[in-house]
């Protein structure tokens, strides 16, 4: 058993040589601030500025845009659980992604998947090319060969820009497609491209992209880190001194950092993240099985179902199917009724909350993806996404059964027949 030992300076550390597991490290902060009262909950430094010892003599912190002790605690904690060299907390997941895009210079290329979060698609479609001069290419990231071909294309000197950044989502939002993170990182390294994995759906509890070879792991803290639908934030966990310095430069220069209070709430959320995510994933698995057996459902997307096309790859890089599921009914009306008739599932964008959530991505989180692109990529209007919460599973399934019965009565069971 691991023994906890008090050191002279008041820091509590593990005395056993074995590093405690993530669940334990989440509860015991990786770093500690100088605190005369040794508070168990981390102090909230709700301040913009810090009084300096002198006009030319500076303390550890001077201005909260550049650094804040509560933010440092969160950033150290994230770096610790992700095995990163540094972590940086931003005002939202999108602010974090926008900062990653700063690594790419005009004339260079960003490679992304076909099934990605709508906000990321909006950035890649409307900001990166028109306002930053970047080329954006989309490939089917579930096919490593397509990634390799795009990387190769950028080296031929035939006018195709070099790929500087590969942006992976796995599993993807909203169709839970799975990409082989290690294989993509390996091939990207051969071509000198930086790999950033948007790990918002798994979070570092179930999948740690840096251990799989990524340079940057991005997590929307709005989701599982905070876990209670009360924070907007994003984290970049980063490998390598140079990359850390570059990300920090942009965080400070552009002022897109997370506020002290959001950092404090995120720190609180982290303590229960493993517990919440385990329960949410257990619920999701049962919901996925229920959906797969329902006549109204045409297709279920859940990374933890054995029938998932890349379930083997997912199992090799993640420890759980997670708590996000999406499904098709073949009928927008049936899907709408299911979403609107559930009582325990809040109709909302986002995921990862203790509360179960339900949405129709094409009308909500992915509405900004142009209709023709959605059509081209097979992102259908009747798709429903569920984020399982921590409620009792019998209540959740009972609620879904009633909503499905209402939809079936209204549109008939015919829509889901073609499984």
Ligand X SMILES: Cc1ncc(COP(=O)(O)O)c(C=O)c1O
Which positions touch ligand X (CB under 6 A)? 92-94, 117, 119-120, 169, 173, 198, 200, 220, 222, 232, 234, 350, 365
Give the nearest distance from C-beta 103 to ligand X in angstroms: 17
Of 339, 329, 379, nearest in space to 359 by CA: 339
User: Angle, to 10 degrees, between the axis of helix 144-153 and the axis of helix 181-190?
Assistant: 20
Q: Which is nearer to ligand X, 72 or 172 (CB)?
A: 172
| Active centre residues (catalytic) | 65, 117, 198, 223
How far apart are alpha carbons 383 and 27 in whole angstroms? 37
Q: Which is nearer to ligand X, 77 or 256 (CB)?
A: 256
How far apart are alpha carbons 190 and 80 in whole angstroms? 27
Give the nearest distance from C-beta 91 to ligand X in angstroms: 8
Q: Which is nearer to ligand X, 119 or 416 (CB)?
A: 119
Joined together, the tokens standing for residue 391 give: 């409620």
Q: Which is nearer to ligand X, 94 or 383 (CB)?
A: 94
Give the nearest distance from C-beta 16 to ligand X in angstroms: 37
Q: Which is nearer to ligand X, 222 or 280 (CB)?
A: 222
- For residues 230 and 214, the answer to whether their CB atoms sit within 8 Å is no
How far apart are alpha carbons 101 and 123 in whole angstroms? 9
How far apart are alpha carbons 408 and 381 in whole angstroms? 18
Q: Which is nearer to ligand X, 70 or 222 (CB)?
A: 222
Give the nearest distance from C-beta 4 to ligand X in angstroms: 34
Q: Which residue is nearest to ligand X (CB)?
A: 93
Q: Please, is 309 exposed, middle or buried when counting C-beta atoms within 10 Å of its C-beta (0-12, 13-18, 19+)?
A: exposed
DSSP of 301-330: E-TTSTTSTTHHHHHHH-SS--SEEEEE-S
DSSP of 197-253: EE-TTTHHHH--GGGGT-SEEEEETTTTTT-SS----EEEEE-SHHHHHHHHHHHHH
Cα dihedral across residues 301, 302, 303, 306: positive or negative: negative
How far apart are alpha carbons 196 and 383 in whole angstroms? 27
- For residues 236 and 79, the answer to whether their CB atoms sit within 8 Å is no
Q: Which is nearer to ligand X, 127 or 292 (CB)?
A: 127
How far apart are alpha carbons 41 and 46 in whole angstroms? 15
How far apart are alpha carbons 51 and 363 in whole angstroms? 49
Give the nearest distance from C-beta 92 to ligand X in angstroms: 3
How far apart are alpha carbons 324 and 288 in whole angstroms? 9
């Amino acid at each position: 058993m691991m023994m906890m030992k008090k050191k002279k300076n008041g820091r509590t550390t593990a005395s056993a040589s074995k590093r405690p597991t993530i669940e334990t490290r989440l509860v015991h902060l990786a770093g500690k601030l100088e605190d005369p009262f040794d508070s168990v909950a981390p102090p909230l430094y709700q301040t913009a500025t810090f009084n300096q010892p002198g006009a030319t003599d500076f303390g550890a912190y001077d201005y909260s845009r550049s650094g804040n002790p509560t933010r440092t605690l969160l950033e150290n904690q994230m770096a610790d659980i992700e095995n990163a060299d540094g972590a940086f907390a931003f005002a939202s997941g999108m602010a974090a992604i926008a900062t990653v895009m700063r690594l790419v210079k005009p004339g260079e290329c960003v490679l992304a998947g076909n099934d990605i979060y709508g906000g990321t698609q909006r950035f890649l479609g409307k900001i990166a090319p028109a306002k930053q001069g970047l080329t954006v290419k989309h490939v089917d990231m579930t096919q490593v060969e397509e990634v390799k071909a795009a990387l190769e294309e950028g080296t031929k000197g035939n006018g195709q820009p070099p790929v500087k950044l590969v942006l992976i989502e796995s599993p993807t939002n909203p169709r839970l497609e799975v990409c082989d993170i290690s294989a993509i990182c390996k091939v990207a390294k051969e071509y000198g491209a930086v790999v950033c994995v948007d790990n918002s759906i798994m979070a570092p509890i179930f999948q740690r992209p840096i251990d799989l070879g990524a340079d940057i792991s991005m997590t929307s803290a709005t989701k599982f880190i905070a876990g209670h639908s009360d924070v907007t934030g994003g984290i970049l966990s980063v490998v390598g001194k140079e990359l850390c310095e570059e990300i920090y430069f942009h965080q400070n220069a552009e002022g897109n950092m997370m506020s002290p209070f959001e950092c404090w709430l995120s720190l609180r959320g982290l303590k229960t993240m493993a517990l919440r995510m385990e329960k949410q994933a257990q619920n999701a698995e049962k919901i996925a099985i229920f959906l797969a057996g329902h006549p109204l459902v045409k297709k279920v997307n859940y990374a933890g179902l054995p029938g998932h096309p890349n379930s083997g790859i997912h199992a090799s890089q993640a420890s759980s199917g997670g708590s996000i599921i999406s499904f098709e009914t073949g009928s927008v009306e049936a899907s709408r009724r299911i979403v609107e008739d559930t009582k325990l599932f809040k109709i909302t964008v986002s995921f990862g909350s203790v509360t179960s959530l339900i949405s129709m991505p094409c009308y909500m989180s992915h509405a900004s993806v142009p209709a023709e692109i959605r059509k081209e990529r097979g992102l259908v209007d009747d798709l429903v996404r569920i984020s399982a919460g921590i409620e009792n599973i019998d209540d959740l399934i009972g609620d879904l059964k009633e909503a499905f019965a209402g939809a079936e009565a209204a549109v008939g069971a015919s829509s889901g027949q073609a499984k």
